[in-house]
Every structure is written in structure tokens, then in C-alpha cells.
Amino acid sequence: MPEGDAMEIRVLGELPYQEILRRDEESLAQGLPRVQIAVCAERCVTLGVSQREDVEIALRRHDPELAIYRRTSGGTAVLHHPGDLFWSVVVPRQPQWTGRDFVHGYSRFGRGWVDWLLQRGHPSRWEKTGAWFSAYCFLSGLGEALVAGSGVLGGAGQHVTSRALLHHGAVPLTVEPRETEELFGMPEGMATERLTSLRRLGLEPTADDLQDIASRLAEGVEHPDEVPRAAPGGGQGAETRL
């Protein structure tokens, strides 16, 4: 475990995305080791910080009532629904916390998800996927995605300052393939084939599960070299957005 403060764990419950992001950015500004997990309270789209304005204009033209927010991390767009889970890990910008190559630290910062899913009979992994559809973040091939079975379950991005690192992501409770394909102009059948969700895996996380997931995320950062539990029965620098 890194020297200094232990990871603080916060289970925030159901919140609108703007408030979830505000709390992530507050944690980043404080720069203290912290894990947060929250439940999305609204249907919305989040856009990576560098996405062009015409992307937002096109989405609003398609659905004027759609809530659209910009993440402070990179990547493209993701559609979210009530019940989807947002999670984040914040650590000080120190090698003993971030690791040697935090840009590629998906398996470490998101190991808690792999551990929790494995316990429920769903082997999963963080991996580089194909660049199947650049406009949709989970299918863009940017960074790594959380893959469960043959489908992409979630994704993550980073906002890094000279003081701290924020690694945050989303795991959907539900996926609406036709809605996703129509909203983003995705080829018919792609969302059904490529995306999955907790409910498609037969999972419906409870409040206790959220606490468990958050604890496993914290453990993955504090003890990065430990092997995840088996399933039952068996350089300082400029601010960046990744």
C-alpha cells in the first residue's frame, strides 16, 4: 500500500450527472486518495472535453430535450440512462500512487470491476478493442474498455493535473440498442452486437453491491500486485485529458 493517507470511499447514491462530475472535480482539486461511486439519475449524453461543438448541435437537433454534458476527461460520446453507474478514482500525482504508466492504468484503476464481476460468474477484462465506431466512446478504440463476455460493458477516461489524477468511468445498467444507433447514426445492429450492460448479464446491483464495488476499486489501487479473488467454486507535468 502507498505510504500516506488510505483511500477514502464514498457511495453517493442517485445524483444528476452534473453533480457527479462536480464531486469528481472537487476530489481532483483536493488531490486526496478517494474512490466514489454514484447512480445516474437522468437520461443524458456525456461528451469528451475536446469534442467539437457541431457534435452537440447534431445531438440536440435529433433530440432537443436530451441533457448533454461535457466531461473533463477525453474520449467521445456516451449515452446514459437512469440507474447507470458512474465511478471514479482520485490519487495524488506521485509514482507510488499513480504507478509508472498511469495513462495505460485501466486494469489497475478498474480492477475492482473485474474482481466484482468475477465473483458473480462473469469473467471480464480491460483491453484495447477494435475501432468499431469512433463517435461512441466505448466503441471508439480509444484507451481500453471493460469487456464482459463478447460485449463492451463500460469505459473510462482520465483528467490529470500536476497535483492529482482523476480516473473515472461508467458502467451501464441498461443499453437501448435501437435508441443508441438512431441517436448516433450507428450502423443497425452494432449496439446489439458490441455493447452489453449489467442487466444483460443478469445483474442488478444493490446498495451493498455499490459499497462492495467501491471497496474493491480502492483495494486495486492500494494493492496493485495482488491477484484478484477467485470466483466462488473455483513524471509531473502539464494538465492532460485522456
Q: pLDDT tens, 177-213? A: 999 999 999 999 999 999 999 999 999 999 999 999 9
- pLDDT the model gives residue 8: 96
In which domain, by residue range, is 58 found?
A: 8-225
Higher pLDDT, 241 or 20: 20
Per-residue pLDDT band for 224 (boundaries 50, 70, 90) equals low
Q: What confidence tens digit (pLDDT) does each residue in 73-127 have?
A: 999 999 999 999 999 999 999 988 988 889 899 999 999 999 999 999 999 999 9
CA distances for 186 relative to 5, 120, 138, 203, 237, angstroms? 45, 31, 13, 26, 37
- In this structure, is residue 85 part of a structural domain? yes
Average pLDDT, the chain: 90
Instruction: State yes or no: pLDDT of 228 exceeds 90.
Output: no
Q: What one-letter code names the amino acid at 145?
A: A
Q: Is residue 2 part of a domain?
A: no
pLDDT (0 to 100) of residue 25: 95
pLDDT at 219: 93
> pLDDT (tens digit, 9 = 90+) per residue, 41-65?
999 999 999 888 888 888 988 889 9
The DSSP result for 85-119, as a single string, is EEEEEEEESSHHHH-S-GGG-HHHHTHHHHHHHHH
Q: Residue 28: inside a domain, yes or no?
A: yes
Confidence of residue 22 (pLDDT cuts 50, 70, 90): very high
pLDDT in tens, 129-166: 999 999 999 999 999 999 998 899 999 999 999 999 99
pTM for the full model?
Answer: 0.89
Residue 1 lies in a domain: no
The answer to the question of residue 141 being in a domain is yes
Q: In what order do the strands lie in the sheet with 77-80?
A: 67-70, 44-47, 77-80
Domain count, the chain: 1
Residue 3 forms part of a structural domain: no
221-229: long-range contacts, CB 8 A cutoff, minimum separation 24: 221/7, 221/33, 221/35, 221/89, 221/91, 221/97, 221/108, 221/109, 222/1, 222/2, 222/6, 222/7, 223/1, 224/99, 224/108, 224/111, 228/111, 228/114, 228/115, 228/118, 229/115, 229/118, 229/119
Instruction: State the pLDDT at residue 100.
Output: 80
Q: Give 5-8's long-range contacts (Cβ < 8 A, gap of 24+).
A: 5/32, 5/33, 6/33, 6/222, 7/33, 7/34, 7/35, 7/218, 7/221, 7/222, 8/32, 8/33, 8/34, 8/35
Closest CA to 27 of 9, 48, 46, 39: 9
User: What CATH number should be reported for the domain holding residue 24?
Assistant: 3.30.930.10
Q: Which residue has better confidence, 226 or 35? A: 35
- Asked whether residue 51 is assigned to any structural domain, the reply reads yes
3-state helix, strand, coil in the chain (%, to 5): 30, 25, 40
Residue 232 lies inside a defined structural domain of this protein: no
